[in-house]
């Protein structure tokens, strides 16, 4: 069910790995742009009325208003299964422990006596957090969005998640309960591109946000691309990916289970095993057959995900080559199941998150490691990081110079202004002195 790509021997590219050689889903966000543009424009102009129409069209439910009433949040928390509540609380506790340490402290550098530059970290004022609710209803994603925003000190935040026909047009009750547990009281029943537009433009019910974060389907990704600039975004999330770098010491039962765990998300999810062990590859193939047969979501997600061109077993000559492959792939999640796993993990340059050794499966990170599960997909891990406190902060440079400190460097400023043919820049400095600056220029 999963294909093999053999990069051993002469097949390994001498000039390094080309990303196109590796399995990956094709996601045409560009094509989706044309579809989401009119939806976003409509929300811009008609606000709540447009959101209500789209709820009917895309979510199959007629709603009266988009804002979720406070009683619905309270009720959802009261009715939440106690075991789920305990698990969510532990997940929140661990996420807080990790994210709290990501807070930044302001730094001040004295460049010269009397001349300082401070980097002051200021949270984004208002954020919109998107939580999907189509094929997947993930209360864990509420935690992964809300905790870093709260720990960053964001003052105002709202969650949007699609209205569910089965729940009277409200978002899924476990999503509402997770919001209530986290103390988020502003929640909207809005999904897809229209939810992103609601946050970007604001409506009579929902004040516009400065930034929108969170995973979502291709329509959410397209709306984020379209509205980026007007709002800040985290990343355009694509389907989930797992890569496992494993050698002969890895347990094929674990490896297969982990590959299946992420294939369970989506028919476009990617599961990639990179190994130098032919025996492991064969054992994992056998395990996949056995384990897939015993799981849920077989035909609709797991079989197409594992059998798709985005998944595969990549055979390499050794861990060195394996590292080159996983760096080129830049997986959202990367597991290292090799001898000396921590040392191998330390050499990885590109991954959204790295899971080290036999007891750190990706599912742990999805729910309760303390790490964040909103991570860069589609190879974006070579330039971006997952959601963190940093995602919600801006570093403002505060420049504070005395007359003497400015005088000391004025000649250089004027020189550079003249070199760039911008004499008014220089004049702004000269105006502060009876020009002739001290160095005589």
Catalytic residues: 332-333
Question: From CA 77, how far away is CA 180, in angstroms rounded?
Answer: 6
Q: List the x/- string, 343-382, binding to Zn ion by CB under 5 A.
A: -----------------------x----------------
Which residue lies nearest Zn ion, judged by its C-beta? 366
| Beta-carbon count within 10 A of 344 CB | 22
Sign of CA dihedral 345, 346, 352, 353: positive
Core vs surface per residue 120-138: b (16+ CB within 10 A) or e: ebebbebbbbbbbbbebbb
Rounded to 10 degrees, the C-alpha dihedral 359/365/368/369 comes to 60
**140 scored as a contact of ligand HSO (CB under 6 A):** yes
Closest separation in Å from C-beta 227 to ligand HSO: 23
Does the annotation flag 265 for ligand binding? Answer: yes
**Does 194 count as an annotated binding residue?**
yes
- Minimum distance, C-beta of residue 390 to ligand HSO, in the bound complex (Å): 18
β-bridge partners, 313: 4, 273
**141 forms part of the interface with ligand HSO (CB under 6 A):** yes
Categorise residue 35: left if φ over 0, alpha if ψ from -120 to 50, beta otherwise: alpha
Which segment (50-58, 114-122, 137-145, 278-286) binds ligand HSO by CB under 6 A? 137-145
CA distance 24 to 146: 30
Q: How far is the CB of 334 from Zn ion (least distance, A)?
A: 14
Q: Is 240 annotated as a binding residue?
A: yes
Stretch that binds ligand HSO, among 58-66, 134-142, 189-197, 418-426 (CB under 6 A): 134-142
Question: Mask: binding to ligand HSO, 332-371, rule CB under 6 A, as x and -?
Answer: ----------------------------------x-----
- Between the alpha carbon of residue 430 and those of residues 315, 379, 414, 415, 435, the distances in Å are 66, 49, 8, 12, 5
- Told to check if 186 binds Zn ion by CB under 5 A, we report no
The distance of closest approach from Cβ of residue 291 to ligand HSO in the complex, given in angstroms and rounded to an integer, is: 18
Binding site for substrate: what residues are annotated?
240, 262, 265, 333, 366, 420, 425
Interface residue list for ligand HSO (CB under 6 A): 138, 140-141, 240, 262, 366, 373, 375
């Amino acid at each position: 069910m999963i294909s093999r790509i053999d990069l051993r021997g002469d097949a390994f590219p001498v000039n390094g790995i080309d990303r196109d050689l590796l399995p990956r889903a094709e996601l045409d966000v560009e094509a989706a742009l044309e579809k989401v543009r009119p939806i976003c424009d409509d929300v811009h102009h008609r606000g709540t009325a447009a959101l209500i129409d789209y709820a009917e069209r895309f979510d199959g439910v007629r709603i009266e208003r988009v804002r979720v009433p406070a009683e619905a949040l309270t009720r959802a928390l009261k009715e939440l299964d106690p075991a789920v509540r305990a698990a969510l609380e532990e997940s929140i506790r661990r996420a807080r422990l990790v994210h709290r340490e990501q807070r930044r402290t302001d730094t001040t550098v004295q460049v010269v006596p009397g001349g300082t530059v401070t980097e002051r970290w200021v949270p984004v004022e208002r954020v919109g957090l998107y939580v999907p609710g189509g094929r997947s209803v993930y209360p864990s994603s509420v935690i992964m969005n809300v905790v870093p925003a709260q720990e960053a000190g964001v003052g105002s935040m709202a969650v949007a998640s699609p209205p569910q026909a089965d729940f009277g047009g409200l978002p899924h009750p476990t999503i509402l309960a997770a919001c209530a547990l986290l103390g988020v009281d502003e929640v909207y029943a809005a999904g897809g591109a229209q939810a992103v537009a609601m946050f970007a433009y604001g409506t009579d019910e929902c004040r516009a946000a400065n930034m929108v974060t969170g995973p979502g389907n291709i329509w959410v990704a397209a709306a984020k691309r379209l509205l980026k600039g007007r709002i800040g975004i985290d990343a355009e999330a694509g389907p989930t990916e797992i890569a496992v770098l494993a050698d002969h010491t890895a347990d094929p039962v674990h490896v297969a289970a982990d590959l299946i765990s992420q294939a369970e998300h989506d028919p476009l999810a990617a599961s990639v095993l990179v190994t130098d062990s032919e025996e492991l590859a064969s054992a994992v193939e056998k395990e996949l057959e056995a384990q897939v047969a015993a799981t849920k979501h077989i035909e609709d997600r797991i079989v197409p995900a594992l059998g798709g061109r985005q998944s595969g077993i990549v055979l390499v000559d050794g861990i060195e080559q394996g590292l080159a492959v996983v760096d080129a792939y830049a997986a959202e999640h990367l597991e290292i199941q090799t001898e000396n796993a921590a040392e191998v993990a330390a050499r990885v340059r590109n991954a959204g998150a790295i899971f080290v050794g036999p007891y750190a499966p990706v599912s742990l990170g999805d729910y309760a490691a303390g790490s964040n599960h909103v991570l860069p997909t589609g190879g974006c891990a070579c330039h971006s990081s997952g959601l963190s406190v940093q995602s919600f902060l801006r570093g403002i440079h505060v420049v504070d110079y005395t007359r003497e400190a400015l005088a000391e460097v004025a000649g250089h400023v004027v020189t550079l202004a003249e070199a760039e043919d911008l004499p008014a820049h220089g004049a702004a400095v000269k105006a502060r002195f009876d020009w002739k600056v001290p160095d005589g220029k």
